[in-house]
Amino acid sequence: MSALNVNENELQEIRSSFVDEETLLPVIVQDDESKEVLMLAYISREALEISLSTGRGTYFSRSRRQIWVKGESSGNRQWIRAVSFDCDSDAVLFRVHQEGAACHTGEKSCFHHRIS
Amino acid sequence: MSALNVNENELQEIRSSFVDEETLLPVIVQDDESKEVLMLAYISREALEISLSTGRGTYFSRSRRQIWVKGESSGNRQWIRAVSFDCDSDAVLFRVHQEGAACHTGEKSCFHHRIS
* pLDDT tens, position by position, B37-78: 999 999 999 999 999 999 999 999 999 999 999 999 999 999
Condensed to tens digits (0 to 9), the pLDDT of residues A22-77 reads 999 999 999 999 999 999 999 999 999 999 999 999 999 999 999 999 999 999 99
Q: What is the ipTM of this complex?
A: 0.96
Beta bridge partners of B39: B29
Beta bridge partners of A59: A68
Q: Do A80 and B110 touch (CB under 8 A)?
A: no
Residue type, position B110, single letter: C
Q: Do A114 and B14 touch (CB under 8 A)?
A: no
User: Which domains are assigned to chain A?
Assistant: 27-116 (3.10.20.810)
Q: Which candidate in B36, B96, B116 is best for mutational testing of the A interface (most A CBs within 10 A)?
A: B116
Which residues of chain A approach chain B closer than 8 Å at the C-beta?
Answer: 4-7, 10-11, 13-14, 26, 28, 30, 35-37, 39-40, 52, 80, 82-89, 91, 93, 103-105, 107, 110-116
Q: State if pTM tops 0.95.
A: yes
Residue in chain B nearest A88 by alpha carbon: B110
Q: Do A52 and B93 touch (CB under 8 A)?
A: no
Whole-angstrom CA distances from A50 to A24, A45, A57, B26, B51 are 14, 9, 8, 24, 37
